[in-house]
């Protein structure tokens, strides 16, 4: 369910010709991921967006206390809920090729159906609850999340991931970002 882009006059920033703060942040991005995804080229129009995204993403990946599988479940749940086809494709590829998300879990998140793993289902439900309820989750969902073995620190890390995904999901929707070739096999139909 891609939103119709509403940014019309701004163009992706070409790393080869970028200057100043835009070049500096794209250099950081290139160093971190090895290429400039279309999303980053768009976000670089406002270097603070890309800088904040990269820093928050790095903190979540390195310090959230979630496994790489759990991290991908969080990112996918937020992206799917927010209707961001670009991030759903990108995180589906990462889930499948890098993070060890079981195929049936990935399929369930993408389809919006029941997740066949109780702990990951509680994580996805808590994530969606935080986003859908604007940080005011129902106590029943919080209890199920904690009963699944997660902590209140994990809950705060969901807040960090949701903030990072707001930057990317909303930017992608604003630009109608084209899915990179690297993620094309996971494009949302």
- Residues 61-107: pLDDT tens digits? 999 999 999 999 999 999 999 999 999 999 999 999 999 999 999 99
On whether residue 10 sits in a domain, the answer given is: no
CB 80 within 8 A of CB 88: yes
On whether residue 154 sits in a domain, the answer given is: yes
CB 20 within 8 A of CB 51: no
Taking the C-alpha atoms of residue 68 and residue 87, their distance in angstroms, rounded to an integer, is 16
On whether residue 4 sits in a domain, the answer given is: no
pLDDT at 5: 83
C-alpha distances out from residue 36 to 26, 49, 163, Å = 7, 15, 21
On whether residue 32 sits in a domain, the answer given is: no
Look up the domain containing 98 and give its range.
Answer: 65-186
Single pTM value for the model: 0.95
On whether residue 48 sits in a domain, the answer given is: no
> Scanning the structure block, which residue is given the tokens 């969902």?
141
The domain tally of the chain equals 1
On whether residue 177 sits in a domain, the answer given is: yes
Q: 3-class SS at 72?
A: helix
On whether residue 146 sits in a domain, the answer given is: yes
The percentage of the chain sitting over the pLDDT mark of 70, rounded to a whole number, equals: 98
Q: Determine which helix (DSSP H) or strand (DSSP E) holds 105, and give its type and residue range.
A: helix 103-111
On whether residue 88 sits in a domain, the answer given is: yes
Neighbours of 185 (CB within 10 A): 12
Taking the C-alpha atoms of residue 116 and residue 182, their distance in angstroms, rounded to an integer, is 28
Q: What is the mean pLDDT of the chain?
A: 96
CATH number at residue 105: 1.20.1290.10
Residue 159 has pLDDT above 80, yes or no: yes
């Amino acid at each position: 369910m891609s939103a119709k882009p509403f940014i019309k006059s701004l163009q992706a920033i070409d790393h080869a010709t970028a200057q100043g703060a835009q070049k500096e942040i794209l250099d950081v991005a290139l160093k971190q991921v090895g290429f400039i995804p279309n999303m980053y080229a768009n976000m670089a129009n406002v270097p603070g967006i890309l800088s904040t995204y990269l820093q928050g993403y790095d903190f979540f990946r390195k310090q959230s206390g979630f496994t790489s599988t759990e991290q991908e479940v969080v990112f996918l749940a937020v992206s799917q809920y927010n209707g961001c086809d670009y991030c759903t494709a990108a995180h589906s590829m990462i889930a499948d090729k890098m993070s060890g998300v079981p195929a049936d879990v990935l399929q369930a998140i993408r389809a919006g159906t029941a997740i066949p793993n109780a702990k990951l289902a509680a994580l996805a439900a808590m994530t969606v609850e935080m986003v859908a309820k604007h940080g005011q989750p129902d106590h029943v969902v919080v209890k199920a999340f904690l009963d699944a073995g997660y902590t209140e620190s994990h809950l705060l890390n969901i807040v960090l991931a949701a903030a990072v995904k707001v930057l990317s999901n909303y930017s992608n929707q604003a630009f109608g970002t084209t899915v990179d070739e690297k993620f094309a096999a996971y494009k949302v139909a």
